[in-house]
Copies of this chain bind each other. A is one copy, B any other.
């Protein structure tokens, strides 16, 4: 005990006070201590009081590890995403945490950096730690290795913004609606060459956005030029580069839909450099909403959805799965998207 000159009131090093210590101080058996903390009804008021004061005196709290060995859940949920620096994930995490902490669960987070091997490693880590469930934004929905790993782990998994298996629970935003709405808006303004910059070729978000985009064109009877689809990344740099390429085309688009949190930054930079005026020379719609979209000059129309709510819903679904192991609830929840009209869209320039 060479830690401190006995500053705090209690004697024992406080490091490892156990039921036995409490039992000794209270003058009861360890079983009784356990009964008291677990609220067993068969305990005399007198004994309960003695035990409780002993607990308070020693500052004892049951070891989660020891409880876990007796089959008591550690009340831990894992959350795997690519990178928490994406504000959408941060909001989802906060939403999930708010719901889970209310039910006594804590959140263990881990970044995959978009690598499937890392995802597999993380799932195994959570398994070793006997996590009670998993919130997961998988990188590639079709990855066989990851899928096998999840199945082998056999605990409740809820996918966020992804969909792997019909049976697995999932929560996601209505990206098809949102993107369809955005494209329809541009088409109705008279745009005929609309570019879509986005990522997620290997997941539901990307698929739904493309589907909505295509649908809007089909319903309007407007052919879609595939050379205007840039669907390989959500990164700001990708938005920057592809916007430059798009604007250098002979027959360049008159509008851009930039669907991905970080894309707007790169897209705007490229437009600035090119010296184009929004919306006079080029219309623009982004997703999701952000301070940048709201306060850029001009302000940017966006497809918005509530990532915090998405995280909450996912946590609720997971709680449900964890409690009713066999009962299969609504397997998928969809969060609505809304279209925010601002100043970044106008009729296309006359050529």
B-contacting residues of A (Cβ < 8 Å)? 2-3, 7-8, 13-15, 59, 61-66, 68-69, 74, 76, 83-85, 87, 90-91, 93-94, 97-98, 101, 106-111, 124-125, 127-130, 148, 151-152, 154, 236, 264-265, 268-269, 272, 290-292, 294-297, 308, 325-326
Contacts and interface: CB of A to CB of B under 8 A. Distances in A.
13 contacts: A59-B152, A61-B124, A68-B68, A74-B129, A76-B108, A85-B90, A90-B90, A97-B111, A107-B110, A265-B295, A292-B292, A292-B295, A296-B296
A308 B291 CA distance: 21
A93 B86 CA distance: 12
Contacts of A62: 128
A111 B109 CA distance: 13
B151 A7 contact: yes
B291 A15 contact: no
A66 B69 contact: yes
A308 B83 CA distance: 12
Give me the 7 closest cross-chain CB pairs, A-B, nearest first.
A65-B68, A297-B297, A265-B291, A61-B128, A292-B292, A291-B292, A90-B90
A286 B28 CA distance: 62
Contact of A65 (B65, B87, B101, B108): B65
A290 to B, nearest CB: 7
A291 B114 CA distance: 23
A148 B294 CA distance: 44
A109 B93 contact: yes
Nearest to A69: B65
A165 to B, nearest CB: 12
Name which of A59, A87, A295 has the most chain B CB atoms within 10 A of its CB. Answer: A295
Contacts of A129: 64, 74, 106
Contacts of A69: 63, 65-66, 69
Contact of A3 (B106, B148, B154, B308): B154
B93 A84 contact: yes
A106 B106 contact: no
A21 to B, nearest CB: 16
Contacts of A87: 85, 87, 90
A107 B81 CA distance: 13
B128 A64 contact: yes
B97 A130 contact: no
A280 B7 CA distance: 59
Name which of A110, A129, A154, A264 has the most chain B CB atoms within 10 A of its CB. Answer: A129
Contacts of A127: 61
Given A125-B106, A151-B8, A3 B85 contact: no
